[in-house]
Amino acid sequence: MPTNQQIVLDNRPQGEAVASNFKLVSGPTPALLQGQVLVRHHYLSLDPYMRGRMNDGKSYAAPQPLGEPMIGGTVGEVVESKHPKFAVGDKVVGMGGWQEYSVVNGDDLGALRKVDTTHIPLSAYLGAVGMPGVTAWYGLVKIIEPKAGETMVVSAATGAVGSAFGALAKARGCRVVGIAGGPDKCKYAVDELGFDECIDYKQHPHVGSLAKALKVACPNGIDGYFENVGGMILDAVLLRMNAFGRIAVCGMIAGYNGEPLPLTNPALILVSRLKVQGFIVSEHMEVWPEALKELGTLVATGKLRPRESVAPGIAAAPEAFLGLLKGKNFGKQLVKLI
Amino acid sequence: MPTNQQIVLDNRPQGEAVASNFKLVSGPTPALLQGQVLVRHHYLSLDPYMRGRMNDGKSYAAPQPLGEPMIGGTVGEVVESKHPKFAVGDKVVGMGGWQEYSVVNGDDLGALRKVDTTHIPLSAYLGAVGMPGVTAWYGLVKIIEPKAGETMVVSAATGAVGSAFGALAKARGCRVVGIAGGPDKCKYAVDELGFDECIDYKQHPHVGSLAKALKVACPNGIDGYFENVGGMILDAVLLRMNAFGRIAVCGMIAGYNGEPLPLTNPALILVSRLKVQGFIVSEHMEVWPEALKELGTLVATGKLRPRESVAPGIAAAPEAFLGLLKGKNFGKQLVKLI
C-alpha cells in the first residue's frame, strides 16, 4: 500500500490564517472495500473558500473538522478499483482534499467524475473547466444576465474565476474591464485574457481614485459586476453602477480574517435600483453540464487560456494557500502532487 | 378664477430639512386651454421620497426645481373641464403637487385617472390603493416572491407601505412581523393591521438587542424583508435572514440627510446567499392594474384598514412632512385641502 501524505487542519486561525494552523501527516492508504476506488492525485486546487471553512462561525458550509485533511478539489488517476464503472488509468476529478491519495465510494453521487483529456489538460478541470469556471458562468449567466454591448467588471480578474468570467462575457459581446493587483497582472489580463482594460487597484489607495479610474475604463457605466473581493473595491464599483445593474457576490476575500468590512453607501442599491445577489456554485449543480460544455469549448479552442501558479508537492500547500489569500498567486493556484 | 395656494421649494436643505426650505405662495388658477382640466385637490399625499427630491445630488429622479410647487400625489374632483373624457364632478387621482388646484392636460398618459369611490374612500387612492400600496405589492410579489409559511418582516410597519405589505403577505399565508417605533404603533400593527408580532425598535438601541428580538419574533428566521429604513435595522435583520432570503429595498429614510449610513457586514449577502434589490415603483407601471385590483379588494372587504394622519390645510404641509421624516406620523400622512 502506498504512503499517503496529508495536510490536516491542526488548529483554527486567530485572525489571520498562518502556516502553523496546518500539519503534515502521513500513513498508508487503506485497503479498498467493494465499490471503492483509489485515486492518485495529480493536482490539488487551492481556493479562497477554504479560508471560510477554517473558521468555526456561521457560514454556508460546515466548518472543516480539526485533524482531518483539508477539503479541496483534486484531479488524478485511478490506480486501483473495486467499482465496475472505474478502471485503472481513468482520469477523474473529485473532492479528494489536501492529500496525495483518496479513497472514494464510486457510487456516491458526484463524488468522482471521469474526464476527457484529449483537448483539455487535466489541471483545467480544477480551474476553467471546473468549479471556478462554473462559478464565473453562474454569476454571469444566471445573476448578471448580460446583454451584448453592456459593460462587465470583475475583481481578481486574472484568477481562475475572473479569467473565465472575462472570456464568457467577451463571448456575449460585452465590454469587459478587470481589476487586479499590479501591472503584470493587468498587462496579462489585456494581452492574454482578452480584457478590454484592466485597472491596477494598487495604484488607487482611495475609493475616489479607484472610482475615477473606473469612470475612465467604463465610459458607459457598469451594468454587471462580479464580486470576488469586497471592501473598498465594491464601494468604488457601486458609485459607477448604471441603473438596473446587477452584482453577483461570489467572494469577500478581504473579510475572511474577521476584520469589519462595511459597505459605505448601501443606499446606492436603491438609488441605482441594483440587484445584489450572493451565491455558491455547489448549490446549483443543475447548471454544471451546460456551463462545463461552454467552458470546455472555450479552453479547447484557445479562447480561454487561464494562467496557473503551480506549487510543488503537498508540503508546499499551506504556504501556497496563504499566498493566495494575500493575492500573491498569478492565475489559478494549484499544487502538483506527482 | 379661484385662488390657488401653493407650497414651493424655496431653498435646498443643508443637512436636515427644515420648515424654511419651503414657502407658501398664492395666485389665481390660470384659464384652461382646450384639452385641459382643472382639479380641486381634496387630499395631498406626503411621502419620504420627497426628501430625496429636495437635494440636488445624484438620485433616481430629477431634483425638485426651486420656486415650483413641491411634487406630490393628490386626489380630488374635476371642477372645470375642456377635455371630453373628464366631466365636472369626476373623482380623480394624479400628481398635482403641494397646492390646492392643478391644471392637467387630459391627454397626458397617466397624468389623471378617474377612480370609483363607491366602496373605497377617496383618500385611500393615495395610500393603500395608490402608490404606497403598489410599492408594497411590487416588493413583495415581484422581488421577495413569498411562499406560504415563510416569515416576512417589514420596517415602518404602520406606515402606508408597511400596512399594505402586512395585509398582502398575510393573504399569502406568511408569518408577518413588523418593526415600528413605540408601543402604540406596535399595538396597532398587531391589533388592527393583523401583524403576527411587531417589534418596537425604540426599545433596542443596539443592533445586538434588536437582532435578539427578531430571533424571538421569527423563530424560523426571516425569508423576506421589505426595507423602508436602512441603517441599524437592516444590520439586525441581515443577521437573521435565512439562506436564499430576499430583501426588497424601497427606502433608506435614515440616510436622506446625508449622514453616512454604512452596512456593517455585507459579507452576509454571500454567507446567506441573499438577493438584495432596490426598486422604485413608478418604473413598473405594468404591474399597477393587477396590484390595484388586489389592494382595492383588500380595502373594500375590510382586510386592509390603514390608518391616516391628516394635517389640516396646505399651510400645514411642511410641518407634517418634517414630522413624517422623523417618524411622528402614525399611518399614511395626508394633508386635507377642502
- pLDDT above 70 for B207: yes
Q: What's the CA angle centered on B51, arms B45 and B54, to 5 degrees?
A: 115
Interface touch A270/B278, C-beta < 8 Å: yes
Q: Which residues of B touch A260 (CB under 8 A)?
A: 264-265
Average pLDDT, chain A: 93
The residue among B26 and B109 whose pLDDT is bigger is B26
Identify which of A126, A48, A24, A180 has the alpha carbon closest to the alpha carbon of residue A334. Answer: A126
- Tens digit of each residue's pLDDT (9 = 90 or more) over B287-300: 999 999 999 999 99
- For cell 389592494, name the residue: B295
Number of Cβ pairs < 8 A linking chain A and chain B: 101
- Considering chain B, what is the average pLDDT of its residues? 93
**pLDDT at B208 > cutoff 90:** yes
A75 falls in which pLDDT band (50, 70, 90)?
A: very high
| pLDDT higher than threshold 90 for residue A229 | no
**How distant is the alpha carbon of residue B122 from its chain centre?**
16
pLDDT in the model for residue A300: 94
- SS3 state of residue B282: helix
Q: What are phi and psi of A120, to 5 degrees?
A: -125, 125
Q: CB A270: neighbour CB atoms within 10 A?
A: 24
> Percent of chain B beyond pLDDT 70?
97
Q: What is the pLDDT of residue A60?
A: 62
Contact B273 A263 (CB under 8 A): no
Reference B309, options B188, B181, B159; nearest CA is B159
| Angle B326-B327-B328 from CA coordinates, rounded to 5° | 95
The pLDDT tens digits for A293-316 are 999 999 999 999 888 999 999 999
Going from N- to C-terminal start, the domains of chain B cover 3-127+306-336, 131-282
Determine contact, residues A61/A32, Cβ cutoff 8 Å.
Answer: no
Confidence band for B59, pLDDT divided at 50, 70 and 90: low
Q: Helices then strands (H, E): number in chain A? A: 9, 15
Secondary structure (3-state) at B242: strand
> What is the distance between the terminal CA atoms of chain A, rounded to a whole angstrom?
17
Residue A59's pLDDT band, with cuts at 50, 70 and 90, is low
- CA–CA dist A189, A211 (Å, integer): 20
Cross-strand bridge partners of residue B278: B249
Using the predicted structure, report yes or no on whether residue A252 has a pLDDT greater than 80: no
Q: Is the pLDDT of residue B267 over 80?
A: yes
Question: Domain A3-127+306-336, what fold?
Answer: Quinone Oxidoreductase; Chain A, domain 1 (3.90.180)
Amino acid residing at B141 = V
Q: Which of residues 180-239 of A touch B (CB under 8 A)?
A: 230, 234
Position A321 scores a pLDDT of 97
| CB < 8 Å from A in window 54-113 of B | 58-60
Does the structure show a pLDDT above 80 at B253?
Answer: no
Minimal-distance CA residue of chain B relative to A284: B273
Which band of pLDDT confidence, cut at 50, 70 and 90, is reported for residue B201? very high
Contact A278 B277 (CB under 8 A): no
In this predicted structure, what is the pLDDT of residue A218? 98
Instruction: Count CB-CB contacts under 10 A for residue B110.
Output: 10
Instruction: Please give the Cα distance from B26 to B315 (Å, whole number).
Output: 11
* Fold for the domain defined by A131-282: Rossmann fold (3.40.50)
Q: Do B266 and A60 touch (CB under 8 A)?
A: no
Residue B58: the pLDDT is 62
Q: What percent of chain A has pLDDT over 70?
A: 97
A243 contacts B60? CB cut-off 8 A: yes
Cα distance between residue B123 and residue B332, in whole Å: 10
| Burial class of B302 by CB neighbour count within 10 A (0 to 12, 13 to 18, 19+) | exposed
Q: In this model, does residue B39 exceed pLDDT 70?
A: yes
pLDDT for B60: 61
Contact B271 A278 (CB under 8 A): yes
The answer to whether the B3-127+306-336 and B131-282 domains have the same CATH topology is no
Residues of B in contact with A58 (CB under 8 A): 271
Question: B266 CB near a chain A CB, below 8 Å?
Answer: yes
Distance CA B156, CA B132 (A): 12
Measure the CA–CA gap between B94 and B110, rounded to whole angstroms.
8
Quick check: A261 contacting B, CB < 8 Å? yes
Q: In a mutagenesis test of the B interface, which of A59, A241, A271, A274 is the best target, namely the one with the most B β-carbons within 10 Å?
A: A271
Specify the pairing of strand A197-200 against strand A222-227. Answer: unpaired
Digit-coded pLDDT (tens) for A136-149: 999 999 999 999 99
Global pTM value: 0.88
Closest Cα of chain A to B301: distance in Å? 33
Residue pair A193/A186 in contact (Cβ under 8 Å)? The answer is no
> Do the Cβ atoms of A240 and A220 come closer than 8 Å?
no
Q: Which residue of B has its CA nearest to A265?
A: B262
A159 neighbors A253 (Cβ within 8 angstroms): no
Give mean pLDDT, residues B287-316. 94
pLDDT tens, position by position, A162-203: 999 999 999 999 999 999 999 999 999 999 999 999 999 999
pLDDT of residue A62: 81
User: What ipTM, to 2 d.p.?
Assistant: 0.85
Q: Please tell me the predicted confidence (pLDDT) of residue A184.
A: 95
Q: How confident is the model at residue A109 (pLDDT cuts 50, 70, 90)?
A: confident
Contact B163, B195 (CB under 8 A): no
Q: Do A60 and B273 touch (CB under 8 A)?
A: yes
B60–A266 C-beta distance less than 8 A: no
Confidence of residue A81 (pLDDT cuts 50, 70, 90): very high
Query: Residue A276 half-sphere exposure, CB side, CA atoms within 13 Å?
Result: 29
Contacts of B55-62 with CB under 8 Å at 24 or more apart are B55/B12, B55/B13, B55/B256, B55/B258, B56/B12, B58/A271, B59/A271, B60/A243, B60/A270, B60/A271, B60/A272, B60/A273, B60/B280, B61/B280
Q: What is the pLDDT of residue B231?
A: 87
What integer is the mean pLDDT of B27-51? Answer: 95
- Cα distance between the two ends of chain B: 17
Q: Is the pLDDT of residue A256 over 70?
A: no
